[in-house]
Structure 1
Amino acid sequence: MAISAQDVNKLRQMTGAGMMDCKKALQEANGDFDEAITILRKQGQKVSEKRADREANEGVVFAYTAPDATEGVVIALKCETDFVAKNEEFVALGNNILNTAVAQKPANIEALLDLAIDGLAIREHLIAMVGKIGEKIEVGAYEYAKADTVVTYIHYGAKLGVLLSLNGAKGEAVVEAGKDVCLQIAAMNPIAIDKDGVDADTIAREIEIGKDQARQEGKPEAIIEKIAMGKLEKFYKERTLLHQEFVKDSSMTIAQMLKKVDANLSITNFKRVSVA
């Protein structure tokens, strides 16, 4: 059947797809707009599948903190190129996904993808954008936190974000301290809050590395274990948040900085989210 330019333009406005794709979809659907939209989504799915093995190492990190600072959300919407990451529609979709996550608090990414925006599941919005843009697009991370105080931080360029939970105290001074801790996490990339949070495999690996280094330095076998444990303590100071030197004041650790703010203040959790 004949498809008018007006119908093609209407479908293009509805879907954002290219003019020729819209025309072909309408022809295949015999002018039925709903069927044409379904065809376009299927085309998007095909594009998504073709690009499933591509690396999505660009994108934008979005964050929300509740007005009372007791809840926070961070998401990462990923794509293949920085050009797409700066696309207005891509950013708008990221903000819509963030707002939906804030409103409905899904348990995980899969649950988030099932939520609807304007009657269409988020996973379908992603497929449609893949079909339109021609790049792999995915929600790379979703983190939600609820605590006495929750602080979020987006690093310059919006490629990296932090979600921090603190308990034991509230107030402006706690929020400001939380911002400093978020900056610390972004800069120093700790692997755990404290020693207790470091997994056994990592500890075993670090001890073995310490032993090998000591042997290569020619140290006596009788003190190899002691040297390795000393290196492990150094590892804790460098890689666990509370033991790290505070980036804004190296005369104290993060634990000491927090104690100065409030003796009862503690970090209960943190998430460092990156699109890379």
Structure 2
Amino acid sequence: MMEISTEMIKQLRQATAAGISDCKKALENANGDYNKAVEFLREKGLATAAKRADRAASDGMLELYSHSQGRIGVMVEVNSETDFVGRSDKFRAFAHEIALQIAASAPDYIREEDIPAEDIERETRIATAKAKEEGKPDAIIPKIVEGSLSKFKDEKVLLRQKYIRDENMTVQQLLNDAIVSLGENVVIRRFVRWELGESTAEE
């Protein structure tokens, strides 16, 4: 059983607004896995952020960000439930942070479930072939492939990425914090990221 630290409990409490003992129990139940602990609290009806996640969010804003003297451009749509929250400084600051994250970390997808099946299949093939080339025993190849896929998702899925300002938290945790802080559901709906020279490299 993984040791549950006070910091882990604090992070989960900040993101979900659940009680300290509930957060500790959820983390113990999930063996320290943050996302599983959030899911556990959600199932028990204790996670404020998770409870709000099903509420419709269609207000908000389009955040536009230009980075590195115009070499990288990002447009991201972030939604709130009401125009009142969508116009607040706190919401706009969050949308700006998400644009910065996308500019710096170049994700391909917002959520894990957004990854097309063919992309997973491609990464599985690459990881399997690499493991075989390195002479890994067949019995451990599935575990190696699973680790490679997890790393791929951590790099390419926005919500799984480490937050650029704090490596100890993910963008999902940042989003959970925003939902609790703003008192509304917040959704990162879609984004585009352009980098100077991309189109010419493909031609």
TM-score, normalized by length of structure 2? 0.60
Among residues 163, 187, 190, which one is paired with 1:266 in the alignment?
187
> 2:87 aligned with 1:174, yes or no?
no
Higher RCO, 1 or 2 (CA under 8 Å, sep at least 6)? Answer: 2
Aligned AA for 2:61?
T
Out of 143, 147, 155, which is 1:226 matched to? 143
Shift of 1:209: 1.3
CA drift of 1:232 comes to 0.4
| Residues in 2 aligned to 1:250 and 1:174: alpha-carbon distance in whole angstroms | 22
Q: Which has the higher helix share?
A: 2
**2:66 aligned residue (138, 142, 154):** 154
The alignment partner of 1:219 has SS state of coil
Aligned residue number for residue 163 of structure 1? 75
CA contact (8 A) 2:59 2:80 kept: no
Confirm whether residue 275 of structure 1 aligns to residue 196 of structure 2.
Answer: yes
Name the CA distance, whole Å, in 2 between partners of 1:174 and 1:216: 49
How far, CA to CA, are the matches of 2:60 and 2:69 in structure 1? Answer: 29
**Counterpart code for 2:92:** V
1 CA distance for matches of 2:157 and 2:136? 28
More displaced 10-residue stretch of structure 1: 211-220 or 236-245: 211-220
3-state SS of the aligned residue for 2:127? Answer: helix
Deviation at 1:158, TM superposition (A): 1.3
Q: 2:123 aligns with which of 198, 202, 206?
A: 206
Comparing 193-202 and 211-220, the one that deviates more: 211-220
- The CA distance in 2 between the partners of 1:220 and 1:173, in whole Å, is 52
Question: How many pairs were matched up?
Answer: 131
1:177 is paired with a residue whose SS is: helix
Structure 1 stretches lacking a partner, 5+ long: 1-145
Is this contact kept in 2: 1:152–1:163, CA < 8 A?
Answer: yes
Cα separation, 2, equivalents of 1:180 and 1:194 = 17
CA contact (8 A) 1:149 1:174 kept: no
Contact 1:238–1:244 at 8 Å: present in 2 too?
Answer: yes
Deviation at 1:147, TM superposition (A): 4.8
Going from structure 1 to structure 2, the CA distance change for 1:152 and 1:176 (only over 3 Å counts) comes to same
1:184 is aligned to 2:105 = no
Q: Whose strand fraction is larger, Structure 1's or Structure 2's? A: 1
Alignment of 1:5-84 (within 5 A): none
| Percent identity (aligned) | 34
The answer for the alignment partner of 1:134 in structure 2 is: none
Q: TM-score, normalised by structure 1?
A: 0.45
Pair 1:243-2:198 in alignment: no
Q: Distance in 2 between matches of 1:273 and 1:213?
A: 31
SS of structure 1 residue aligned to 2:76: strand
Structure 1 position 214, deviation (Å): 1.8
| Backbone CA RMSD of aligned residues | 1.7
Please show how residues 55-134 of structure 1 align to structure 2 within 5 Å: none
What secondary structure is seen at the aligned counterpart in 1 of 2:136? coil
